[in-house]
Amino acid sequence: MRLIILGGPGAGKGTQAQWLCNHLQIPLISIGDLLREAIATQTTLGQMAQLYVEKGELVPDQTMIQFVRQRLLESDVSQGWLIDGYPRTAFQAEELNFLLDDLGQKLNWAIYLQVSEEILMNRCLQRSRADDDPEIVRRRVELFYERTIPILEYYEYRQRLLTIDGEQQVTQVQQQILQQFREFII
């Protein structure tokens, strides 16, 4: 199974991605964690990404595509994966599609956790991550609506989009994901 999980900052992507990976026994590729690690260790990618992440901006497409390509070439993800935090733009979604073609893989589903802007803001401000400053959170939410929403159209057109009500309790979101899997996979 090859999946991506989409949603604004604070939508619950990390929680649901971890649960799905355990449930499906596939590796989680958390782009946010990988970026934070690259920044902390000051790799070349980390240094390039840091300038954007600190401002709440998206890391440029070409840098992200290169980063994802490297990760998808690693052996632990050859039989399946779930990507959290990528793609963030329609261009990245298309580039991911080309990359997967090159690797002889196919995306099964893009899972979208739909959460209102107000709830996204509240959830982000309640957690205590270093990059969850109110101004940065506001900018990330704006960028989500500006750049990420077109990805939904991209995957919907290709009949690869599962929309989930992300405002429910964690277990209800999980049940809805499994229900949609049953409906669309079988």
From the list 13, 36, 123, 160, the catalytic residue is 13
From the list 55, 106, 129, 158, the catalytic residue is 129
User: What sign has the CA pseudo-torsion 79, 186, 115, 93?
Assistant: positive
Burial annotation 2-33 (CB, 10 A radius, 16+ → b, else e): bbbbbbbbbbbbbebbebbbeeeebbbbbbbe
2 is catalytic: no
140 is catalytic: yes
Q: What phi and psi, each to the nearest 5 degrees, are found at residue 169?
A: -65, 155
* Separation between Cα atoms, residue 79 and residue 77, nearest integer Å: 6
71 is catalytic: no
147 is catalytic: no
**Do 59 and 35 meet the contact criterion of CB atoms below 8 Å apart?**
yes
13 is catalytic: yes
From the list 2, 69, 71, 127, the catalytic residue is 127
From the list 69, 88, 123, 147, the catalytic residue is 88
From the list 36, 123, 140, 160, the catalytic residue is 140
Active site residues: 13, 88, 127, 129, 140
